[in-house]
Amino acid sequence: MADLITFLILIPIVGAIALYVGRPGSPRVVALVFNGLSFFYALMLWQKFDTGAAGLQLIERHAWIPSIGAEYVVGIDGLSLLLVLLTSIVFPFAFSAQKLERGACSLLLVMQAALYGTFTAQNFVLWFLFYEMSLVPAFLLIKIYGGENRDYAAVKFFLYTFLGSVAMLLAFLGIYFAKGTFDFEKLADLGKAGLLTGNVRWFVFAGIFLGLAVKVPVFPFHTWLPDAYQTAPTGVSMVLTGTLSKMGVYGFIRLLVPLFPQEIKIAGPWILTLVVCSIVFAPLAAWRQRDLKRMVAYLSINHLGYCLLGLFAITAALPTGPIDKQAALSGVFLQIFNHGVTAAALFYFVGLLEQRSGSRNIDDFGGLMQCTPLLCGWMSVSMFSSLGLPGLNGFIGEFLIFKGSFATAAAFTAIAVIGLLFTAVTFVRAMQSLFSGPLAEGCAGYHDLLLREKFVIVPVTLLMFAIGLNPQFIFNTFNATVAQMARLLG
Amino acid sequence: MIATLQIFLIISAALFSIGLLAALSRRHAIFILIGIEMMLAAANLNFIAFWQFSPVRAPQPVGVMFVIFTIAIAAAEAAVGLAMVIAVYRHFRTTNVDQLTRLKG
Amino acid sequence: MTDWITRNVWLVPATPIVAALLILGFGKHARRAATGVAILGQIAALIVSTCAFVPTLHSHEFRAFENFTWFTFGEQSLRIGFVLDPLAAAMMVMITLVGLCIFVFSLGYMADDKNFSRFFAYLSFFSGAMLGVVVANSLLLLFVFWELVGLASYLLIGFWIERPSAAAAAKKAFITTRIGDMGFFLGILWLYHQSGTLLFYDGGHGCLENVALLGASSTFIALLIFCGAAGKSGQFPLHVWLPDAMEGPTPVSALIHAATMVAAGVFLVARVYPIFSAGAVNGVTSSLIVVVWIGVVTGLMAALIAVAQSDIKRILAYSTVSQLGLMMVSLGVGGVAAGIMHLLAHGFFKALLFLGAGSVIHGLHHEQDIRKMGGLRKLMPVTFATYAVGMLALSGVPFFFSGGWTKEEVLHATSHWPSSHVPYFLLLLGVVLTALYMTRQVMYVFFGSSRAGSDHHAHESPSVMTVPLIILALCAIGLSIFLTPAWPWLESYLLGHEAHIDAHLLLQPMILVSLVLVGAGIGLGFWLYRRAGEVDPLQQKVPAVYRFLENKMWIDEIYEHTILALAAFASRVSDWMDRYIWDGLVRVIGGIGQIFGALTKGADEGVINAGVDETTVGARGVGRAMSRLHSGQIQIYLGVIALGMLALFLFYAWLT
């Protein structure tokens, strides 16, 4: 079992091929079986992973194209493991959200493989290959299986992310011509002393920043997101927000921060300004949305903003105490995981409402508590988790992020707190118009949660509670990595 | 009157011109053939004349050889030409070249 | 035993929470099981609280805490814990005792509700969370429970979910308190940053034990924490949610919005008092000055508004706001023990008043307008008697009622405030007003004759509701034994002193002032409302003032047109910017791309494509021209050849 990670990447691809060739009657079941296999492998990876040790583990290294410095190197550290686990959780969750055609299932599986690859690759060429490999299925899924306005949304999504990718690729070519390597670890070592000099470094920095900022997305590069998330089928929205957006944050942690420590210190306040804008404007805009999916989409921008707030607060400002750095990093990691689970759950619930009513407009619902109390109850849990209620998973991550960033960027943090408030406003307003009041016309016939829906919701909600009450098991996966990264940050 | 090269060339040029005139002006295909034969005869006359009057007399009868060769080929050509004229006449019921314009572009 | 209870004080909040989960697990049809579990849980919590109360009596300055690591992040660990000290123990006993009475009362009050078991689940959950606030030994843990209390409050205000007004009130409560909580959150962050720990007590390393380290930032931290306290305790300007919260069922109003949760803000200030008083000169710091003035403004404003309200529960709600202001003043002027004593006493008599109001509402089939009540004295004798006790306690009638003594302590503390005497006089005015509006309410509800005919079928409530009333009334009276200046047991207990009996202190000159003021208030009320009809006498005499107060000083309207409008505007702007500016920019960039595309297309079609086309056309023309030469006229060919030959000759001739 030496090639555990490679197997993990291959399983979904095999699944996709099997679906394509085999033409099974119920593609979703087959996809779920392959997901189960991936999940099992991810757990095995977790079990093999030595949580006490820092640095990369379970490395597989093969020559690939030596002439351009491309190597097949995969390995995991705590962060990669966390994201692999998240991917393994979100995909089965997304598959169970709705019926999907064979093609959509195949594409989702390809995307899953690409995500595993992105989160484990340790060489830029390989990483970029996987990074782009996830883009194409996402485009097709929106374009072919999307709802209203799908062509516009799909093309916008593709162009946005693709332009970002091109900028990043050019930047990395610049680095390669200067330094002659694509290996993340070597580049990080070089980065400590300053990777590039002169004006070139700013172009390169901006290229990488742009590529990742589009993916996360950061204000004002976010306008593709509401359209894409709104149009995509429920399961695809779940995957997009649960895992795909994490590639951007992951890239920031893995690439930008180690490679450009000095540049971030200079550009930090500007980046933080953008991040705080994401945090404040996104929930304000979410408040206005009538379409539930759009609302959740905007809140996603806000939640990922917290991740970047923590990350850039500790990297941009003067060296801080270890506790602040470790708090912010731990918070960021945890928030990545939490947001993946919670936002996926929210989209799932919106999908359930859509299946019952055929509508996502908030005004079409009312008084649901009277006919579907269980659905409302469990959905409220997800909403409260998302607005950061203590006892659920969202709170701990956000607390640690704010704790870490307050030390170095108190003003930004104080403004960001407004984002917390407006997230709450948005959700409470949504709960008021969905769940309470007199029963709306046409809502009377809805059935409450079905058994299969309960099977999906209960484990996910339990996970939220588990992290909220006793998060140690999640922290254990990345504590060593956090400590190491905090030291590297100087 | 001494037979000089000029005289031969003048005769040959006249012969050629007559032949050419015949080939260009006559409407009947056979007369055109005759004109061509005359031009060939003018050329043969030139061969002989240049051979006879060349300052360095070649040991072999090169000019005569050319002429004999040309006469042989001209005979063959006349045979083919006459045969074609007959074939054309059978097909078009005329040998007037002004009417035989099927090969125009 | 002492050891065991100090280590396991977490059981107190855990029991009701477990009960709540069990009830939710039973489902909505298990009504009997739900009530059984809820009340058992509450009784268990009461017993454990009492057990925890006992050791705090034995020694002075008793304080036991149990800290543990919640989780480790990186190489750091976050520690939380539970603390048991007189403050916590007294609060726990009050909460569980009042809670138990209210649970029992709810059995009767909510008997007809279809979501009966859910109600008890929420109530139990609230009780557990509130107890958690009290025993938390870490500001973070306190915040955790603080938010859970807010959640419970949200769920219970909006309990009658089909009423839009209830849902709106729940939303308002949640958001308004959360505004304060955001300040509180920042305060926590700042405190954590400055002190490196959020544990209150940690054997000399806790944040309350080293407040000197905070330096100048302590003022800001204290003020930020006070934001949270003000939100929860309904202090001006965040008080607007509390009267609206009366949309919830009356037992909820009694437990959460009168006795316990709204007092959490006061408790919080008392808990972190060292931060507020850090660097105090003469007992005065800038943060405490803010606390005092906010308290004074709140107390007076709410008391004024209460005079002109007509909903029985809203009057009580404003009275709660006013009393909370009083407690804040007491804390601010340094009378921590007095403030907490008033909190405890208030918990009993205000719960009593609310349950009494609930009993009235129940008896009148959900009529809440006092102008339509009247003469219930005879129809509901038990309710009347207990309500009168509560009213007298709230009005601050000295000697026999706990509220009188504690109010006396508060006034006493305020009169000695070195910074200013204005708060003291304003509080005295508040005392008159309190007596006035309570008398007004009692006159309307219980005296006179029936108005509007709504109460001809009024009936006394069943004993399941009256017994809790009687218990609470006895508490409201009996508690005064521990409160007199002659034997200030509770104060000494809270302060960690030994209480001495000194009968001479029983009568102090200041008590006469109170007596006169309370008498004046009650007398004025009696005189004004002795023959009140459906139109309020005050409305007839000073209509403008009455309208001003009846509309709650238009604070809600002011907020709606300023802050809310601003937020809505900001939201609209954000959405608009997103749609038109940021997305517009993207579209502009896309448009530029399209223009380039069009240009390229033009070049492609106009230059390259057309060039190729023209070339072909030209080639074809040339071909056509050439083919014209091939006329098929053999003689022309020959002629051309001849001409060509001639030309060659001429050329040759020209060359030579």
From C576, which residue of chain A is nearest by alpha-carbon distance? Answer: A285
What is the pLDDT at residue A490? 65
Would A37 be classed as within a structural domain? no
Q: What is the band of A86 on the pLDDT scale with cuts at 50, 70, 90?
A: very high
Domain assignment present for residue A154? The answer is no
Under 8 Å between Cβ of B67 and B42: no
Q: Which of C629, C632, C638 sits opposite B101 (nearest CB)?
A: C632
Q: What pLDDT is attached to residue C268?
A: 92
Residue (of C136, C134, C144) closest to C87 by Cα position? C134
Rg of chain C taking only CA atoms, in angstroms: 39
The pLDDT of residue B1 is 61
Lowest mean pLDDT among B11-20, C117-126, C627-636: C627-636
CA distances from A383 to A282, A425, A449 (A): 16, 11, 17
Asked if residue C505 has pLDDT above 80, the reply is no
CA distance C646 to chain B (A): 12
Task: Answer whether residue B105 is part of any domain.
Answer: no
Measure CA of the first residue to CA of the last residue in chain C; give whole Å: 141
Q: In this complex, do B105 and C629 lie within 8 Å of one another by their Cβ atoms?
A: yes
* Alpha-carbon C377 to chain mean position: 35
**Position A286 in a domain:** yes
Dihedrals phi, psi of A71, to nearest 5 degrees: -130, 155
How many structural domains does chain B have?
A: 1
Q: How confident is the model at residue C148 (pLDDT cuts 50, 70, 90)?
A: very high
- The arithmetic mean of pLDDT across residues C80-100, rounded, is 89
- Contact: C634, B105; criterion CB under 8 Å: no
Chain C partners within 8 Å of B20 (Cβ)? 638, 642
Q: Is A293 exposed, middle or buried (0-12, 13-18, 19+ CB in 10 A)?
A: buried
Q: Which of C113, C184, C578 to mutate to test the interface with A (most CBs of A within 10 A)?
A: C578
3-class state of residue A73 by DSSP? strand
| Tally of structural domains, chain A | 1
pLDDT (average), residues C402-410: 85
Alpha-carbon gap, residue A168 to A162, rounded angstroms: 10
Which of A82, A210, A219, A223 should be substituted to probe chain C, the one whose Cβ sees the most C Cβ atoms within 10 Å?
A223
Q: Choosing among A281, A299, A389, A401, which should be mutated to test the C contact, i.e. which has the most C CBs within 10 A?
A: A281
In a domain, B44, yes or no: yes
Q: Which range scores top for mean pLDDT: A122-126, C507-511, C581-585?
A: A122-126
Return the pLDDT at A382: 92
Percent of chain C predicted with pLDDT > 70: 98
Share of chain A above pLDDT 70, in %: 99
Q: Cα distance from C614 to chain B (closest Cα, Å)?
A: 23
Is B93 a domain residue? yes
Task: Write down the pLDDT at residue A177.
Answer: 83
Range of the domain at B25: 5-99
* Mean local confidence (pLDDT), C436-455: 76
Is residue A487 in some structural domain? yes
Window 140-179 of A, Cβ < 8 Å to C? 156, 159-160
| A422 within some domain | yes
Q: Smallest CA–CA separation between C582 and chain A, in Å?
A: 6
With a cut of 70, say whether residue A1 has pLDDT above it. no
Task: Count other C-beta atoms under 10 Å from residue A371's C-beta.
Answer: 17
Size of interface B-C (CB pairs under 8 A): 35
Q: What does the pLDDT average to over A207-223?
A: 86
Residue B84 lies in a domain: yes
For B17, nearest residue in chain C (alpha carbons) = C642
Residue A72 Cα distances to A128, A177, A356, C141, angstroms = 12, 20, 47, 47
Confidence of residue A83 (pLDDT cuts 50, 70, 90): very high
* Residue A454 within any structural domain of the chain: yes
- Whether residue A437 lies within 8 A of chain C, CB to CB, comes out as yes
The C-alpha of A173 sits at a distance from chain C's nearest C-alpha, in angstroms, of: 25
Tell me what pLDDT residue A318 has: 67
pLDDT tens for residues B22-49?
888 888 888 888 998 899 999 999 988 8
- The reported pTM is 0.84
The answer to the question of residue A402 being in a domain is yes
User: HEC profile for C514-533?
Assistant: HHHHHHHHHHHHHHHHCCCC
Angle in degrees, 0-180, between the axes of helices C164-195 and A410-435, rounded to the nearest 10: 160
Least confident interval from A140-144, C340-344, C509-513? C509-513
- pLDDT tens for residues B69-98? 999 999 998 899 999 889 988 988 888 888
Predicted confidence (pLDDT) at residue A214 exceeds the cutoff of 70:
yes
Cβ atoms of A443 and A306 closer than 8 Å: no
DSSP-H helix ranges across chain B: 5-25, 29-53, 62-92
Residue at B89 is within a domain: yes
pLDDT at A319 over 70: no
- Asked whether residue A435 is assigned to any structural domain, the reply reads yes
Instruction: Give the side-chain half-sphere CA count within 13 A for A408.
Output: 27
Across A136-140, C377-381, C395-399, C524-528, the highest mean pLDDT is recorded for A136-140
Residue A277 is part of which domain span? Answer: 261-490
Phi, psi of A63 (to 5 degrees): -70, 145
Please state, in angstroms and rounded to a whole number, the distance separating the CA atoms of residues C452 and C374. Answer: 9
- Whether omega before C237 lies within 30 degrees of 0, making that bond cis, reads yes
| CATH code: domain of residue B27 | 1.10.287.3510
Interchain contact, C76 vs A322, CB within 8 Å: yes
What gap in Å lies between CA A175 and CA A195, rounded to an integer?
8
For the segment A47-82, what is each residue's pLDDT rounded down to a tens digit? 888 888 878 888 888 888 888 878 888 888 888 999
Instruction: Supply the mean pLDDT for chain C.
Output: 85
Span C371-393, pLDDT tens digits: 777 778 778 888 888 888 888 88
Q: Which one, of C233, C213, C201, C157, lies nearest residue C67 by Cα?
A: C201
Q: What is the pLDDT of residue B105?
A: 58
ipTM for the assembly = 0.91
CB contact under 8 A, B105 and C633: no
* Chain C stretch 593-632, residues whose beta carbon is closer than 8 A to a beta carbon of chain B: 626-632
C242-269 confidence digits (pLDDT tens): 888 888 888 888 888 888 888 898 999 9
Structure confidence by residue, pLDDT tens digits, C279-306: 777 778 888 889 999 999 999 999 988 8
Residues C328-338 pLDDT 10s: 999 888 888 88
Q: Helices A451-469 and A393-408 sit at what angle, rounded to 10 degrees? A: 40
Query: How does DSSP classify residue C632?
Result: S
pLDDT tens, A228-252? 888 888 889 999 988 988 998 999 9
Owner of token pair 């940021």: C582
